[in-house]
Structure 1
Amino acid sequence: MEFSEHIKTANVEDVVLRRPFHPPTKGTLCVTGHHLIFSNRGGDSALELLLRNIDAIEKRPSASSGTITLKCKDLRVLQLDIPGMEECLNVASSIEFLSSLETVSEMYPFFYRPPGLSLQDQWGLSSTEQRYTQMKEISSNRPVQRVRWRLSHVNRDYAVCPSYPPDVIVPHSVDDETLAKVARFRQGGRFPVLCYYHRKTDTVIMRSSQPLTGANKKRCKEDELLLQAVIDGSELGYIIDTRSNQQAQQARMTGGGFESKSFYKGWKRLHRQLDKGKVLQESLTKLVEACGDHSHSVDRWLSKLENSKWLSHVQTALSTAGLLAECVERDGHSVLVHGSEGTDMTLLVSSLAQLILDPGSRTLAGFLGLLEKEWVQAGHPFHQRCTHSAYSHVRLRHEAPVFVLLLDCVWQLARQFPLAMGFSEPLLLRLAKEVYASEYGTFLCNSDQERCVTGVKERTHCLFRFLLRPGERQRYFNPLYEPNELAIWPSVQPPSLELWKGLFLQWTDDALHLVEAQEMIQNLVNRCRWDLGDEVENPDG
């Protein structure tokens, strides 16, 4: 596509830009295929905004001029005062079209070529095969030497499960033919796979989608065999269903369902309802609306915050993850977690549980590796979920800020355990922005298969690898970090949870003081370490 065909007016002079933290500035506005660029009178670029970042456009034309208000996915609100009604309408029309491109290969990551990076570089951080090798090394130190797990290539052509990666880790005693039969019994083909091995108790976390038992309570003996192989003679395993018991029962009427106690002996099912989809999207919208309410009534603000129910979603997610971690760490039992599709709340809960249990996931590199494994490779549909954010008047069926909810829960963990995380809040803020609009290809598409078909790994750069470069790593490292080999158990009582001001109030005056405080802490710690001769070349150790 020729982007120039959709740019009706490329440049406008004497435009006034109004934005947070800056006085109104007059300059030149330029519309390109992927960016909105504003240069002030001195010729300096005062703003370079990815058009993909724009969530909603409001225009107010008059006889001789017009105003365009841009509400961004990173929650900024910008205003452009444009001389000339025609110019105003032309600019607004161009932005509306170019900010909502649907063809993946036309998006900016396919055109972005940063200095110092090469498309020949390795795209991701690690593969399933590399993680399996590490797991074997860990488990080989156990007293029992029998191999319980294997690396399966059953999905190498994505025919068994379109949303899984080519390689998965499964029980050693279950062959690929059996896996293929299990996949036909699970929604979307997402059969149970291992996502975390807990060395302390020799137990695992598995994840999947719901079984397709339907109203007739269909069985799949291969599925039952697979889950029996997971607990391998243990007395008990837990299935954590991220739906209520009523929702799971209702799912049977549409072909879904849950594991029956009669056929899955040794497994105990626990239900923990986590809202998703439209409910979660509306919650975010209400929260952002409350944060944008500039009335001086504290009661009104608190009422809006409570009515958004966002912190209730945070509480439920952390509580469910804590339950999962407790089953593994304290009770010594393996866990299978799933809801219906297994691509949203399942990944949320498994990720948070691993942060609670696994000190390796709390380093900067470990956390990015966790996101790659549990979200990018495991098939979270980023393109469907993150088309719009909180401001858009368009509401698509599949939109939901599940990944933003994850980042908020991680922020809550980091706030309660400020020394336990090897990364800082700026990393979480960066990820919250990148998931909606990015120069990198990491969050494009809905699955590993789609990224292969569209050439994402060959034609775009990987965000996670960029963030681990020395200069970037230092920016996102937590200067207070002290490695902790123990599990961290978050409090989920209401007084223990706070609004994430760094994200939801980042464009208010108070946010400036937060940024200044973070910079002072970083400089102070770096100076102390330098004085002590403790170099910080490799913050992850």
Structure 2
Amino acid sequence: MEFSEHIKTANVEDVVLRRPFYQPTKGTLCVTGHHLIFSNRGGDSARPFLLLLRNIDAIEKSVENLLGYSRLFSSTGQSQRPSVSSGTITLKCKDLCVLQLDIPGMEECLNIASSIESLSSLETVSEMYPFFYRPPFLSLQDQWGLSSTEQHYAQMKEIHDGWRVSQVNRDYSVSPSYPPAVIVPHSIDDETLVKAARFRQGGRFPVLCYYHRETGTVIMRSSQPLSGANRKRCREDELLLQAVIDGSELGYIIDTRSSQQAQQARMTGGGFESKSCYRGWKRLHRQLEKGKVLQESLIKLVEACGDQSHSVDRWLSKLENSKWLSHVQTALSTAGLVAECVERDGHSVLVHGSEGTDTSLLVSSLAQLILDPDSRTLAGFLGLLEREWVQAGHPFQQRCAHSAYSHVRLRHEAPVFVLLLDCVWQLARQFPLAMGFSEPLLLRLAKEVYASDYGTFLCNSDQERCVTGVKERTHCLFQSLLRANERQHYSNPLYERTELAIWPSIQPPSLQLWKGLFLQWTDDALHLVEAQKVIQNLVSQCHRPLNEKVENTDG
């Protein structure tokens, strides 16, 4: 179906746009295949307002008469029909912005609303805007991602004796959600990996995601074993994990489910690693919520933040009832436990929940940020997201189909990636000098994951991106963010590299609501943004003479 077939009315004059931080403006509204374009009457210098339709989470419309029914009667004695009608469309966006369009004409209003509803919910990946976006500063001939598994492995020369790159999943037949190449123990051949994959949900057998140089220990991740009610065993899976701790006394399995949930999973074919079968491994349970529970938590939080009529006590009560900060606390606590096992205790760790595509990635990513200074640079952080989320098979299209406003509740939705960004913001707030990137980068990512010009967050796996041609026909967000002018905007001017681990405090007073995200469309947020710009300019001016002095000294 062509985009034009979805558009019932393409242009409407005399539309009034109401949006945060701006006075109501009258102008022309245009509906295209991927955008709403609003052009005001401010002359040639006035820039049009563009809204990516994919960013729209919910549409609310109302139609009413402007003049009402006339009390005058015609010569026939019948009341006259109203001559003017109008409608209001409220657009609630996935980036939490709420817009209002006042449209003259009942039919035009209903047509515009119908067009938006249809175009904002296109499900065919190849019809989405990243396949049509062609910025002049990027080329489709450029490398799509930042790094491959092979390139990442080549940079870690210290692991070459004990670990290798396996191409066992090159055709995605072993695990549809894994990338073609993974890093595994050197002593484990591909045949063993294939058999171990059959024993793990979705074929997600244990793979390396982090190597700690000082202790020689590692963080691995996987999905749950398929032991089932009959407590089935897999010698190859046991051999794989034994190879990880060969010569060590102990390894830890951090299960992101409660003990009860893990037991219940056995009734449906899942399960956990038995202590008697996996000698040398100790299992710990740290329950992290996902799915519907996490989605409902975000909805309640956004509802609380969007209601300005509550008293302070009522607002704090609703904030607490959302339990969002409890999810932040649990995620940081579990990541801290993993990091502590690796650095302080010198033990390797395997992280998994059930599917291994959500909380496992969340915990492994945060643990690496705590431990690894390379992951805390701008390029390093984007590389971490690429490895641990994009390449590792987080199902972005399912999880981020809707945000907090949608009236549709899909089974697979969950803001796990937004939770990660919130946890990273908490780390950056507690350690303002340790991160090479700034809050605007996290806010940009929180927006892009739901609606983007780029193909980075399209699809649910690397295999799907290959099938749909994402890497050949769209541009990579991470590549764009590392361009010189983007780097300047998203870099932390106060950054000072430290080789030490950064251990977050998870006490309630140490965790705060991320105002930059959840209160970004309030008047107070506008003042904060202006203050941050002033601070950034001051810091940049202070650093410039120092940098020039260093350059002159080097010369």
TM-score interval, normalised by the smaller of the two chains: over 0.9
Whether 2:530 is the aligned partner of 1:516: answer yes
**2:254 maps to which of 233, 240, 250:** 240
Pairing partner for 1:368 from 382, 387, 398: 382
Q: Which residue does the alignment assign to 2:34?
A: 34
Residues 283 and 308 in structure 1, CA contact (< 8 A), matched pair in contact too: yes
Aligned: 1:113 with 2:147: no
CA distance in 1, matches of 2:420, 2:201: 23
Alpha-carbon shift at residue 352 of structure 1 (Å): 0.1
Looking at structure 1, the residues matched to 361 and 333 of structure 2 have their Cα atoms a distance apart, in angstroms, of 15
The match for 1:48 among 31, 36, 50 is: 50
Instruction: State the 1:532 CA deviation.
Output: 2.3
| Residue in structure 2 matching 1:407, options 396, 421, 432 | 421
Residue from 421, 436, 446 that aligns with 2:450: 436
Q: Say if 2:158 is the partner of 1:138.
A: yes
Alignment partner of 2:146 out of 119, 125, 134: 125
Bigger shift: residues 291-300 or 173-182? 291-300
Q: Does 1:65 align with 2:86?
A: yes
Q: 2:547 is paired with a residue of what secondary structure? A: coil
* Deviation digits for residues 458-506 of structure 1 (CA, Å, limit 9, x no counterpart): 0000000000000001100000000010000000000000000000000
Separation in 2, partners of 1:219, 1:517: 59
Structure 1 letter corresponding to 2:527 = H
Q: How far apart, in 1, do the equivalents of 2:257 and 2:337 lie?
A: 15
**Offset of residue 535 of structure 1:** 8.6
| Unaligned runs of at least 5 residues, structure 1 | 141-146
Query: Given the alignment of the two structures, is residue 454 of structure 1 paired with residue 492 of structure 2, yes or no?
Result: no
2:172 aligned counterpart, secondary structure: coil
The aligned amino acid for 1:61 is V
Question: What is the distance in 1 between the residues matched to 2:449 and 2:546?
Answer: 39
Cα deviation, residue 296, structure 1: 4.4
* Counterpart residue type for residue 351 of structure 1: S
Amino acid at match of 1:385: R
Alignment of 1:21-420 (within 5 A): 21-43=21-43, 44-63=46-65, 64-135=85-156, 137-139=157-159, 147-420=161-434
In 2, Cα distance between the equivalents of 1:479 and 1:171?
40
What is the CA-CA distance between 1:350 and the residue it aligns to?
A: 0.1
**Displacement of 1:536 after TM fit?**
11
What residue number does 2:14 align with? 14
Q: Distance in 2 between matches of 1:85 and 1:244?
A: 54
Q: Which string of whole-angstrom CA distances, capped at 9 and with x for unpartnered residues, describes residues 132-155 of structure 1?
A: 1111x2347xxxxxx211110000
Distance in 2 separating the partners of 1:109 and 1:221: 45
Distance in 2 (alpha carbons) for counterparts of 1:534 and 1:200: 36
| AA aligned opposite 2:6 | H
- Structure 1 SS opposite 2:254: strand
Match of 2:133, as an amino acid?
Y
The one-letter amino acid of 1:368's match is L
What do the CA deviations read for 1:81-102 (whole angstroms, capped 9, x no partner)?
A: 0000000000000000000000
Kept after mapping to 2: 8 A contact 1:161/1:188: yes
Comparing 525-534 with 289-298, greater Cα deviation is found at 525-534
Q: Kindly provide the CA deviation profile for residues 167-204 of structure 1, in whole angstroms up to 9, marking residues without a partner as x.
A: 00001111000000000000000000000011010010
CA deviation after TM superposition for structure 1 residue 247, in Å: 0.3
Note the C-alpha offset of 1:293: 1.0
**Aligned residues of 1:59 and 1:69 also touching (Cα < 8 A):** yes
SS at structure 2 position matched to 1:238:
strand
Task: Give the aligned CA root-mean-square deviation in angstroms.
Answer: 1.1
| 1:444 Cα deviation after fit | 0.1
Does 2:510 match 1:499?
no
1:236 positional shift: 0.1
CA distance in 2, matches of 1:269, 1:262: 11
CA–CA separation in structure 1 for the residues paired with 2:546 and 2:285: 51
Contact 1:385 1:398 in 2 (8 A): yes
Shift of 1:533: 3.4
Q: 1:425 aligns with which of 439, 442, 445?
A: 439
The offset of 1:10, in angstroms, is 0.5
Contact 1:37 1:45 in 2 (8 A): no
Task: Name the amino acid aligned to 2:139.
Answer: S
AA partner of residue 33 (structure 2): G
Rounded to whole Å, the distance in 2 between the matches of 1:192 and 1:369 is 20
Instruction: State the Cα deviation string for residues 417-438 of structure 1 (Å, max 9, x = none).
Output: 0000000000000000000000
Distance 1:215 1:374 in 2: 31
Paired residues, number: 530
Change (3 A) 1:65 1:453: same
**Superposed displacement of residue 161, structure 1:** 0.3
**1:228 is paired with a residue of what secondary structure?**
helix
Q: What letter corresponds to residue 31 of structure 1 in structure 2?
A: V
CA distance in 2, matches of 1:406, 1:51: 25
Cα separation, 2, equivalents of 1:393 and 1:338: 32
1:520 to partner: Cα distance: 1.0
TM-fit CA distance, 1:531: 2.2
Judging changes above 3 Å, is the alpha-carbon distance between structure 1 residues 340 and 536 closer, same or farther for their aligned structure 2 residues? farther
Q: Name which one, 1 or 2, has greater alpha-carbon Rg.
A: 2
Does structure 2 retain, via aligned residues, the 8 Å contact 1:57–1:69? Answer: yes
Aligned to 2:82: none
Deviations 1:65-88 (A, max 9, x none): 000000000000000000000000
Shift in alpha-carbon separation, 1:535–1:206, aligned structure 2, 3 A: farther
SS at match of 2:267: helix
Distance 1:229 1:536, change over 3 A: farther
Contact 1:66 1:88 in 2 (8 A): yes
Distance 1:481 1:207 in 2: 30
Q: Distance in 1 between matches of 2:296 and 2:453?
A: 27
Partner of 2:435, secondary structure, is coil
| C-alpha distance 480-231 of structure 1, shift in aligned 2 (>3 A) | same
Matches of 1:18 and 1:395, distance apart in 2? 28
Note the residue ranges of structure 2 that are not aligned, 5 or more in a row: 66-84
CA shift, 1:534, in A, is: 4.2
CA contact (8 A) 1:17 1:80 kept: yes
Quick check: 1:529–1:535 contact (8 Å CA) kept in 2?
A: no
Aligned position for 1:144: none
SS at match of 2:509: helix
